[in-house]
């Protein structure tokens, strides 16, 4: 099994942001759905999933559940859009609900490569490196950054760490 191609996933997310002229945070996922021809639906059901992407009659329907954690739903939706944009065909069987029961979340390196790539895509889509650079003076204020980008503190923390390590490696 091949490993995840993170560089490709990050680059693809940057291309999507550029294509749909998204230059501000929080990332407008509805605009991306519209651009991709994905129907966008919001639920308010505490029993349903955080978010999902369904395929019905060859059409994609993105669901975001307002009754659950909004930031988690945004990440889930961005992750699912990643599968479309990265052109992942049939995916390895991976059940995030079961994964959560085994421990809050499965470690990234234990997920199938396509899931890791979709997470990387979602991370760059919601917390673009260019935007992190723009807010560089605020990066130490995790609460403010998470609120600004409409992501979880955990996701923002990971993105900031990635930002600093890539800045060291590539500058």
Residue environment code for 23-53, b if the CB has 16+ CB neighbours within 10 A, otherwise e: eebbbebeebbeebebebeebeeeeeebbbb
Q: Which tens digit of pLDDT belongs to each residue from 23-48?
A: 999 999 999 999 999 998 888 888 88
Ordered by start, the domain boundaries in the chain are: 6-126
Q: Which tens digit of pLDDT belongs to each residue from 111-155?
A: 889 999 999 999 999 999 999 999 999 999 999 999 999 999 999
Residue 171 pLDDT > 50, yes or no? no
Percent of the chain surpassing pLDDT 90: 54
Instruction: Return the CATH fold of 6-126.
Output: Arc Repressor Mutant, subunit A (1.10.10)
Mean pLDDT rounded to a whole number for the chain: 85
């Amino acid at each position: 099994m091949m490993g995840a191609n993170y560089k490709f996933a990050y680059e693809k997310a940057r291309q999507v942001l550029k294509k749909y002229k998204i230059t501000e945070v929080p990332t407008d996922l509805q605009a991306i759905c519209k651009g991709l021809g994905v129907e966008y639906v919001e639920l308010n059901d505490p029993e349903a999933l955080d978010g999902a992407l369904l395929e019905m009659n060859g059409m994609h329907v993105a669901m975001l559940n307002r009754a659950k954690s909004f930031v988690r739903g945004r990440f889930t939706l961005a992750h699912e859009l990643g599968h479309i944009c990265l052109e992942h065909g049939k995916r390895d069987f991976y059940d995030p609900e079961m994964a959560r029961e085994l421990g809050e979340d499965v470690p990234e390196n234990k997920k199938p490569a396509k899931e890791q790539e979709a997470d990387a895509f979602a991370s760059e889509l919601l917390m673009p490196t260019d935007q992190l650079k723009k807010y560089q003076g605020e990066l130490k204020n995790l609460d403010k950054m998470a609120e600004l980008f409409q992501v979880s503190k955990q996701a923002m923390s990971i993105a900031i760490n990635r930002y600093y390590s890539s800045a060291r490696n590539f500058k």
